[in-house]
Amino acid sequence: MRSARDIARGVAAREFSAESVTREALAVIDRENPRVNAFTQVFHDFALAQARRVDADLASGKPAGPLAGVPVALKDNICLSHGRTTCASRLLENYHSPFDATAARMVMGAGAVIVGKTNLDEYAMGSSTENSIFGPTRNPRDITRVPGGSSGGSAAAVAAGMVPVAIGSDTGGSIRQPAAFCGLVGVKPTYGRVSRFGLVAYASSLDQIGPLARDCADAALVLDVLCGKDEHDATSVDLPTPASHNTLDEPVSNLVLGVPTQAWSTANHAGVTASLKSAIDTYKQLGAKVVDIDLPLSDYAVAAYYIVAPAEASSNLARFDGVRYGRRAEGAKDLTDMLCKSRREGFGPEVRKRIMLGTHVLSSGYYDAYYTTALKVRRRVKDDFDAAFRAGCHAVLMPTTPGPAFAIGEKIGDALAMYMEDVYTVGINLAGLPALSIPAGSASVGGATLPVGVQIVGQPFEEGELMRIARMLERAGQSAGMA
Ligand code: GLN
Q: Which residues pair with 397 in a beta bridge?
A: 456
| Chain segment 388-440, per-residue pLDDT in tens | 999 999 999 999 999 999 999 999 999 999 999 999 999 999 999 999 999 99
Q: Return the closest-CA partner of residue 82 out of 134, 113, 46.
A: 46
In 227-334, which ranges are continuous DSSP H helix?
Answer: 244-247, 270-285, 301-316
d(C-alpha 87, C-alpha 77), whole Å: 5
d(C-alpha 244, C-alpha 182), whole Å: 23
101 contacts 79 by C-beta, under 8 angstroms: yes
Domain range 4-226, CATH class: alpha beta
Pairing verdict, β 256-260 and 208-213:
unpaired
Pairing verdict, β 256-260 and 289-293:
parallel
Q: What is the pLDDT of residue 482?
A: 59
174 carries an active-site annotation: yes
Q: What is the pLDDT of residue 479?
A: 82
Q: Which is the closest atom of ligand 1 to the Cα of 171?
A: 8
d(C-alpha 298, C-alpha 423), whole Å: 8
Q: What is the pLDDT of residue 355?
A: 98
Amino acid letter, 460: P
- Say whether pLDDT at 83 is over 70: yes
DSSP-based three-state secondary structure for 354: helix
364 carries an active-site annotation: no
Residue 381 vs residues 312, 388, 428: alpha-carbon distances, Å: 19, 11, 8
d(C-alpha 395, C-alpha 428), whole Å: 12
The architecture that CATH gives domain 256-296+380-404+411-479 is 3-Layer(aba) Sandwich (3.40)
Taking residues 429-456, what's their average pLDDT?
96
- Say whether pLDDT at 197 is over 80: yes
| Chain segment 124-167, per-residue pLDDT in tens | 999 999 999 999 999 999 999 999 999 999 999 999 999 999 99
Residue 328 CB partners (closer than 8 Å, separation 6+): 322, 338, 342
Q: Return the closest-CA partner of residue 103 out of 267, 226, 280, 269.
A: 226
Q: Which is the closest atom of ligand 1 to the Cα of 151?
A: 9
Atom 5 of ligand 1: nearest residue by CA position: 172
d(C-alpha 45, C-alpha 317), whole Å: 32
Distance 15 CA to ligand 1 centre (A): 41
402 contacts 269 by C-beta, under 8 angstroms: yes
Atom 4 of ligand 1: nearest residue by CA position: 126
Which of 89, 121, 418 has most ligand 1 atoms within 8 Å of CB, for mutation?
121
Q: Transcribe 416-448 into DSSP letters.
A: HHHHHTTTTTHHHHHHT--EEEEEEEEEEETTE
- Say whether pLDDT at 480 is over 90: no
As a whole number, the mean pLDDT across the chain is 97
Q: Where in the chain is the domain with CATH 3.90.1300.10?
A: 4-226
d(C-alpha 201, C-alpha 208), whole Å: 10
205 carries an active-site annotation: no
Distance 46 CA to ligand 1 centre (A): 30
Which of 122, 125, 128, 206 has most ligand 1 atoms within 8 Å of CB, for mutation?
125
| Chain segment 314-373, per-residue pLDDT in tens | 999 999 999 999 999 999 999 999 999 999 999 999 999 999 999 999 999 999 999 999
Q: Where in the chain is the domain with CATH 3.40.190?
A: 256-296+380-404+411-479
26 contacts 47 by C-beta, under 8 angstroms: yes
Q: Catalytic: which of 17, 151, 174, 342?
A: 174
d(C-alpha 71, C-alpha 400), whole Å: 27
d(C-alpha 445, C-alpha 428), whole Å: 28
pTM above 0.85, yes or no: yes
- Cis-peptide, bond into residue 150, ω within 30° of zero: yes
| Chain segment 21-47, per-residue pLDDT in tens | 999 999 999 999 999 999 999 999 999
Taking residues 281-304, what's their average pLDDT?
97
- Say whether pLDDT at 483 is over 60: no
Q: What is the pLDDT of residue 296?
A: 96
Name all residues whose Cβ lies below 6 A of ligand 1.
124-127, 150, 170-174, 202, 309, 422
